[in-house]
């Protein structure tokens, strides 16, 4: 049994299409797609022409495919009727011409019942056949040499207008005595068999349908005023006989004509406003209808000569045949309600909903438009193919976008995407699915740029966004693009981490590791075919960094500015010599500049405070520094952070290879197989004391060892600028000993100069003897000391104290709060020490044993073993920058030292121990 339904809806229909003439352009035979659409585009450029000697304009709607069954509804609505056919063919031989021309006639027969005129464009044929004049065939040597295509299309449209005008006049003229034929839609023909054709009810039905048909022809012919009159008359006639299907068509025609009147720019959203030049005749042309039309009055002043009302707000009331914008929607609702009574009119109903939505979008009545769309969703059509379903959902998505329902639009586009890969499709279109899914992102407030998620506020529904990202991952995998899958999965993990449950975090990371085992994640942008570029996704939350601090070099490697050269006074705080390098700081960098220096070739450290937000142990591989300004060798590190750990210190190291100013820009990691470059500027809530430091040229390194054993006791701690070693030696007064110091160059730079100074300090600043002496000639003969070489340096230590027991010495002893009694001062035995009440306290003495000596500890030199009685006398001989001493268990511990300074040509120095 034949199905009389209109099979394929035109989802691009709009109200102004009712005034267009439908022309189908199709290839005949084998024509390449490129050549066909090249000519098709030129043909479509001729979409409207002005009628000669008239103010009317004809509008043409071109289609390269049109179902023949839809053409059978041409009497119901004439804009659905194919009135013109243009065929394009290739023919390179005269012997092929008869067959080609026969194919043209076969093509015409498909739409033969409705065609007004047709044309055949032949490319490639030359010879006598071409020279024969023909009206329906145009010959061109090739697709480049065809300048007259547009002119021939204009002539073709004029021929269509002649036929249209003749049909309009024929149908509109009242021929007395002739019966008006009953126009029918395909499924109605069987219902009118055997009806009484002489009944008044039947005649009114015929008159109403014909009046509606003439209104369609007038609208197509550019006679807007006449069409309004005919539609109104048709509505009254059809309403009186309850001919609901055609009444709906008449109401829709009335709506279309009113929309054209109110919105000359069009409602279809097409590029460029339509120019409605002469869409109606002058006022006197309004009476071109049959005499019976006088019962519907039209104010001649209601419309201007070109059919565009300059002030609709004041003229609508006078143009009673034209609906107001509010009435247009009411009539659309009424028409759709009539269509809904007929199951075979589902396509008509659907297209009417779409036209109403486009009008409401212009009127900015979004809620009412959504009601029409909701009705369109539930209209039951025939069993649609998967391609038709995709088209339907895509158009619904576009219409929801048009009225501002972005999330609803995204929903239907996502449904269309899923329809592309339905199980019933033999070859699922994963690329089309992926493309449609990408188009849904704005509707769900989702961007694929991770920077949009670093501002702290999350927009949209996270659960829906995560579902959409999972679908993008799956679609890209089915497309055979693992790099795309890794990028989307990385984006999901980075941006949605706060919304993932513990189990989801485990599942996502496990999937990511599976993907990256085949295609590691990189920081390269991924270009998509549609022109979209996916930016890289750095894992700034795996782990999360909260604090970054550049560390100074260890004290033994730290450079110090030299404040004097050999022969000048040496600072008491730092005995090492170097010359300054003037740092040219930029004003904008002062806030980030660190006040210490790094050294070329030495290992430098940056400390990060990180924590792991994952519910499992996080393994970070290949973590290193990102720097700029200086060639830098980053030494990678590997971390294993406990589950949900607190702030955890991590030190990243590297070696600057050149000098200059280095900036620590961030760090790089490899987590779950994804390589990330994390910049400090993109980290929210990061705390840093500065990220720029100066790198000075490489300096030599010296290791010092002595012939004396290390001291069992440590002296007072040295300041941060000093490196000290404590050695011990016990000497009697007058005894001497040699201290041999080995100087080993353990760096990469030669040692060129050596400076040795000694300091023996005391708070009294009284020097009673000289302990140390040396000669540098033999040592300096070994300089410059090359890397890996060793030089020796000998220091003579001789104890020579003055125990003359002069009065001033006794006064010094008294000032120190120590009384001396009993044995002579030269006695080697320990004496009883009694502190004065008003003097400084001292530690209580230990047991009085023969041979128990007090010790004076000298840093770098050793230890002298002196009798208890002369302990106070020894103190003024030793002076130290700490300007203090301590007494422990009856012993006086004082600190003295010597300094070794080595100088390069650049005048930089380092302390060594």
Band (386; pLDDT cuts 50, 70, 90): confident
696 beta partners: 599
Percent residues over pLDDT 70 in the chain: 74
Of 585 and 56, more confident: 56
Averaged pLDDT, 131-137? 87
Band (860; pLDDT cuts 50, 70, 90): very low
Of 682 and 193, more confident: 682
Q: What is the pLDDT of residue 734?
A: 77
Q: Does residue 233 register a pLDDT over 90?
A: yes
Q: What is the pLDDT of residue 548?
A: 92
Most confident listed range (687-696, 854-863, 900-909): 687-696
**Between helices 200-220 and 149-172, what is the axis angle to 10°?**
150
Band (803; pLDDT cuts 50, 70, 90): low
Averaged pLDDT, 363-368? 95
Of 797 and 83, more confident: 83
Rounded to the nearest 5 degrees, what angle is found at the Cα of 73, between the Cα atoms of 67 and 384? 45
Strands 891-893 and 886-888, bridge-based pairing: antiparallel
- CB atoms inside a 10 Å sphere around CB 329: 20
Band (746; pLDDT cuts 50, 70, 90): confident
Averaged pLDDT, 607-628? 93
Band (874; pLDDT cuts 50, 70, 90): very low
The phi and psi torsions of 528 (rounded to 5 degrees) equal -100, 155
Closest CA to 185 of 4, 20, 58, 33: 4
Supply 532's token pair. Answer: 């979209």
HEC-encoded secondary structure of 378-395: CCCCCCCCHHHHHHHHHH
Closest CA to 441 of 402, 472, 398: 472
Band (25; pLDDT cuts 50, 70, 90): very high
Q: What is the pLDDT of residue 885?
A: 32
162-166, 608-612, 678-682: the lowest-pLDDT one: 678-682
Averaged pLDDT, 534-550? 92
Averaged pLDDT, 609-631? 93
Q: What is the pLDDT of residue 174?
A: 63
CA distances from 501 to 484, 489, 497, 608, 642 (A): 24, 16, 9, 27, 18
Band (528; pLDDT cuts 50, 70, 90): confident
The answer to whether the CB of 679 falls within 8 A of the CB of 691 is no
The answer to whether the CB of 654 falls within 8 A of the CB of 601 is no
95-99, 291-295, 348-352, 603-607: the lowest-pLDDT one: 291-295
Q: What is the pLDDT of residue 603?
A: 93
The answer to whether the CB of 889 falls within 8 A of the CB of 843 is yes
Averaged pLDDT, 627-648? 91
Band (419; pLDDT cuts 50, 70, 90): very high
Residues 6+ apart with CB under 8 A from 443: 401, 406, 407, 408, 409, 410, 411, 413
The answer to whether the CB of 97 falls within 8 A of the CB of 131 is no
Per DSSP, 535 falls in state P
**Which architecture, in CATH terms, is 15-172?**
3-Layer(aba) Sandwich (3.40)
Rounded to the nearest 5 degrees, what angle is found at the Cα of 60, between the Cα atoms of 54 and 62? 165
Of 727 and 398, more confident: 398
Domains 15-172 and 544-563+592-696 share a fold: no
Averaged pLDDT, 448-458? 81
Q: What is the pLDDT of residue 334?
A: 97
333-342, 534-543, 828-837: the lowest-pLDDT one: 828-837
Which string of b and e fits 536-546 if b means at least 16 CB within 10 Å? bbbbbbbbbbe
Distance of CA 182 to the CA centre of its chain: 63
What element of type H or E holds 326?
A: helix 325-339
pLDDT tens digits, residue range 171-188? Answer: 877 655 468 888 898 888
pLDDT tens digits, residue range 455-470? Answer: 667 888 999 999 999 9
Band (888; pLDDT cuts 50, 70, 90): very low
**Between helices 244-262 and 200-220, what is the axis angle to 10°?**
30
The answer to whether the CB of 782 falls within 8 A of the CB of 791 is yes
Which string of b and e fits 184-202 if b means at least 16 CB within 10 Å? bbbbbeeeeeeeeeeeeee
The answer to whether the CB of 512 falls within 8 A of the CB of 497 is no
Averaged pLDDT, 65-80? 90
The answer to whether the CB of 593 falls within 8 A of the CB of 640 is no
Averaged pLDDT, 817-830? 33
Percent residues over pLDDT 90 in the chain: 48
Number of H helices, E strands in the chain: 21, 33
Which string of b and e fits 268-277 if b means at least 16 CB within 10 Å? eeeeeebebe
What element of type H or E holds 864?
A: strand 862-866
Distance of CA 691 to the CA centre of its chain: 26
Q: What is the pLDDT of residue 722?
A: 64
- CB atoms inside a 10 Å sphere around CB 630: 18
Q: Does residue 145 register a pLDDT over 80?
A: yes
Q: What is the pLDDT of residue 713?
A: 64
Go through the chain and tell me how many residues it has.
913
The answer to whether the CB of 490 falls within 8 A of the CB of 674 is yes
Band (489; pLDDT cuts 50, 70, 90): very high
Residues 6+ apart with CB under 8 A from 910: 556, 557, 558, 559, 560, 576, 699, 700, 701, 702, 902
Residues 6+ apart with CB under 8 A from 902: 700, 702, 751, 752, 753, 754, 755, 909, 910
Q: Does residue 910 register a pLDDT over 50?
A: no
SS3 at position 191: helix
CA dihedral 203, 207, 210, 215 (to 10 degrees): -170
Domain 544-563+592-696: give its CATH code.
2.60.40.10
Averaged pLDDT, 442-458? 85
Q: Does residue 751 register a pLDDT over 70?
A: yes
What element of type H or E holds 652?
A: strand 648-656
- Residue for token pair 């604090």: 547
- CB atoms inside a 10 Å sphere around CB 241: 19
Band (742; pLDDT cuts 50, 70, 90): confident
Most confident listed range (297-306, 667-676, 870-879): 667-676
CA dihedral 843, 849, 851, 857 (to 10 degrees): -20
Averaged pLDDT, 868-878? 34
Residues 6+ apart with CB under 8 A from 37: none
679 beta partners: 666
Closest CA to 227 of 298, 291, 177: 298
Strands 702-706 and 736-745, bridge-based pairing: antiparallel
Q: Does residue 566 register a pLDDT over 50?
A: no
Domain boundaries, the chain: 15-172, 445-534, 544-563+592-696, 702-799
CA distance 49 to 84: 15
CA distance 830 to 827: 8
Band (108; pLDDT cuts 50, 70, 90): very high
CA distance 209 to 230: 10
- Residue for token pair 């009294």: 764
Supply 205's token pair. Answer: 């039905």
Distance of CA 362 to the CA centre of its chain: 33
Which string of b and e fits 721-749 if b means at least 16 CB within 10 Å? ebbbbbbbbebebeeebebebebbbebeb
Q: What is the pLDDT of residue 718?
A: 55
The answer to whether the CB of 222 falls within 8 A of the CB of 278 is yes
Q: What is the pLDDT of residue 745?
A: 86
Closest CA to 143 of 126, 129, 127, 122: 122
Band (409; pLDDT cuts 50, 70, 90): very high
SS3 at position 104: helix
Q: Phi/psi zone of residue 734: left (φ > 0), alpha (ψ -120 to 50 degrees), beta?
A: left
Q: Does residue 3 register a pLDDT over 70?
A: no
Q: What is the pLDDT of residue 908?
A: 36
Averaged pLDDT, 135-150? 91
Q: What is the pLDDT of residue 681?
A: 86
CA distance 456 to 653: 31
Which string of b and e fits 863-877 if b means at least 16 CB within 10 Å? bbbbbbbbbbbbbbb
pLDDT tens digits, residue range 245-304? Answer: 999 999 999 999 999 999 998 888 753 334 433 333 333 333 333 333 322 222 323 333
Supply 141's token pair. Answer: 């040597």
* Bond into 78 cis (ω within 30): no
Kindly report the average pLDDT of the chain as a whole number. Answer: 77
pLDDT tens digits, residue range 196-226? Answer: 677 888 889 999 999 999 999 999 999 999 9
Band (877; pLDDT cuts 50, 70, 90): very low
Q: Does residue 855 register a pLDDT over 50?
A: no
Q: What is the pLDDT of residue 717?
A: 53
Q: What is the pLDDT of residue 565?
A: 45
How many angstroms separate the first and last alpha carbons of the chain? 106
CA distance 419 to 413: 10
Averaged pLDDT, 584-589? 39
pLDDT tens digits, residue range 466-485? Answer: 999 999 999 999 999 999 99
- Residue for token pair 């339907």: 392
Q: What is the pLDDT of residue 853?
A: 30
List % helix, strand, coil for the chain (3-state, nearest 5).
Answer: 35, 20, 45
Q: Does residue 912 register a pLDDT over 70?
A: no
Q: Does residue 892 register a pLDDT over 60?
A: no
The DSSP-derived string for 172-234 is HS--TTPPPP----GGGGGGGTT--TTSHHHHHHHHHHHHHHHHHHHHHTT-HHHHHHHHHHH
């Amino acid at each position: 049994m034949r199905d009389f339904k209109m099979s394929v809806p035109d989802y691009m229909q709009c109200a102004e299409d009712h005034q267009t003439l439908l022309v189908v352009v199709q290839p005949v035979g084998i024509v390449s797609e490129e050549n066909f659409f090249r000519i098709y585009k030129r043909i479509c450029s001729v979409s409207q022409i002005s009628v000669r000697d008239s103010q009317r304009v004809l509008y043409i709607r071109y289609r390269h495919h049109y179902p023949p069954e839809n053409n059978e509804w041409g009497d119901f609505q004439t804009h659905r009727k194919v009135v013109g056919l243009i065929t394009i063919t290739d023919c390179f031989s005269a012997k092929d011409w008869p067959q080609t021309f026969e194919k043209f006639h076969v093509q015409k027969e498909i739409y033969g019942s409705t065609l007004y005129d047709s044309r055949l464009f032949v490319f490639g044929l030359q010879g006598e056949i071409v020279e024969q004049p023909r009206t329906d065939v145009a010959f061109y040597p090739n697709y480049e040499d065809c300048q007259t295509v547009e002119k021939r299309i204009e002539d073709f449209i004029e021929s269509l207008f002649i036929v249209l005008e003749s049909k309009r006049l024929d149908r509109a003229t009242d021929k007395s005595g002739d019966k008006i034929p009953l126009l029918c839609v395909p499924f109605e023909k069987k219902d009118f068999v055997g009806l009484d054709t002489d009944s008044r009810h039947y005649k009114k039905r015929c008159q109403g349908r014909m009046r509606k048909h003439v209104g369609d022809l007038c609208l197509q012919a550019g006679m807007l005023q006449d069409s309004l009159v005919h539609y109104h008359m048709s509505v009254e006639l059809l309403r009186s006989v309850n001919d609901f299907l055609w009444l709906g068509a008449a109401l829709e025609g009335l709506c279309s004509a009113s929309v054209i009147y109110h919105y000359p720019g069009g409602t279809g959203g097409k590029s460029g406003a339509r120019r409605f030049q002469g869409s109606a005749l002058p006022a006197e042309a309004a009476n071109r209808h049959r005499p019976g039309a006088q019962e519907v009055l039209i104010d001649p002043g209601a419309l201007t000569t070109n059919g565009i009302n300059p002030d609709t707000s004041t003229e609508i009331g006078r143009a009673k045949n034209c609906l107001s914008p509010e009435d247009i929607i009411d009539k659309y609702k009424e028409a759709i309600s009539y269509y809904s009574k007929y199951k075979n009119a589902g396509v008509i109903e659907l297209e009417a909903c779409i036209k109403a939505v486009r009008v409401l979008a212009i009127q900015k009545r979004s809620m009412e438009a959504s009601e029409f769309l909701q009705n369109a969703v539930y209209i039951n059509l025939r069993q649609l193919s998967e391609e038709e379903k995709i088209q339907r959902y895509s158009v619904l998505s576009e219409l929801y976008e048009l009225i501002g329902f972005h999330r609803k639009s995204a929903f239907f586009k996502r449904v269309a995407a899923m329809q592309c890969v339905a199980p019933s499709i033999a070859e699922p279109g994963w690329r089309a699915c992926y493309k449609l899914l990408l188009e849904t992102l704005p509707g769900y407030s989702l961007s694929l740029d991770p920077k949009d998620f670093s501002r702290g506020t999350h927009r949209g529904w996270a659960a829906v966004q995560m579902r959409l990202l999972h679908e993008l991952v799956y679609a890209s995998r089915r497309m055979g693009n693992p790099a795309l899958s890794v990028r989307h999965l990385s984006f999901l993990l980075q941006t949605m981490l706060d919304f993932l449950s513990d189990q989801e975090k485990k599942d996502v990371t496990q999937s990511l590791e599976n993907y990256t085992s085949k295609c590691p994640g990189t920081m390269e942008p991924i270009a998509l075919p549609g022109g979209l570029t996916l930016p890289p996704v750095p894992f700034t939350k795996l782990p999360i960094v909260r604090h970054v601090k550049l560390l100074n070099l260890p004290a033994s490697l730290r450079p110090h500015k030299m404040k004097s050269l050999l022969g000048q006074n040496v600072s008491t705080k730092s005995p090492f010599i170097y010359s300054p390098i003037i740092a040219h700081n930029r004003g904008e960098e002062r806030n980030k500049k660190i006040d210490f220096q790094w050294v070329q070739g030495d290992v430098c450290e940056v400390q990060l405070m990180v924590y792991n937000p994952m519910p499992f142990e996080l393994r970070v591989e290949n973590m290193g520094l990102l720097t700029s300004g200086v060639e830098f060798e980053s030494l990678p590190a590997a971390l294993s952070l406990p589950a949900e750990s607190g702030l955890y210190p991590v030190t990243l190291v590297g070696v600057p290879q050149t000098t200059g100013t280095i900036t620590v820009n961030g760090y790089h990691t490899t987590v779950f197989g994804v390589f990330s470059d994390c910049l400090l500027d993109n980290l929210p809530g990061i705390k840093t004391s500065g990220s720029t430091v100066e790198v000075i040229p490489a300096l030599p390194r010296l290791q010092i060892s002595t012939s004396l054993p290390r001291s069992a006791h440590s002296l007072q701690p040295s300041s941060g600028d000093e490196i000290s070693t404590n050695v011990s030696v016990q000497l009697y007064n007058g005894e001497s000993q040699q201290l041999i110091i080995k100087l080993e160059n353990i760096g990469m730079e030669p040692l060129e100069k050596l400076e040795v100074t000694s300091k023996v300090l005391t708070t009294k600043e009284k020097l009673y003897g000289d302990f140390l002496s040396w000669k540098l000639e033999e040592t300096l003969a070994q300089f410059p000391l090359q890397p890996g070489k060793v030089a020796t340096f000998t220091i003579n230590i001789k104890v020579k104290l003055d125990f003359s027991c002069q009065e001033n010495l006794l006064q010094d002893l008294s000032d120190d709060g120590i009384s001396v009694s009993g044995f002579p001062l030269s006695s080697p035995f320990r004496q009883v020490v009694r502190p004065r009440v008003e003097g400084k306290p001292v530690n209580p003495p230990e047991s009085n044993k023969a041979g128990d000596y007090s010790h004076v500890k000298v840093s770098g030199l050793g230890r002298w073993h002196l009798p208890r009685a002369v302990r106070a006398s020894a103190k003024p001989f030793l002076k130290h920058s700490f300007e203090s001493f301590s007494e422990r268990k009856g012993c006086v511990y004082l600190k003295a030292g010597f300094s070794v300074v080595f100088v390069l040509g650049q005048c930089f120095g380092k302390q060594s121990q």
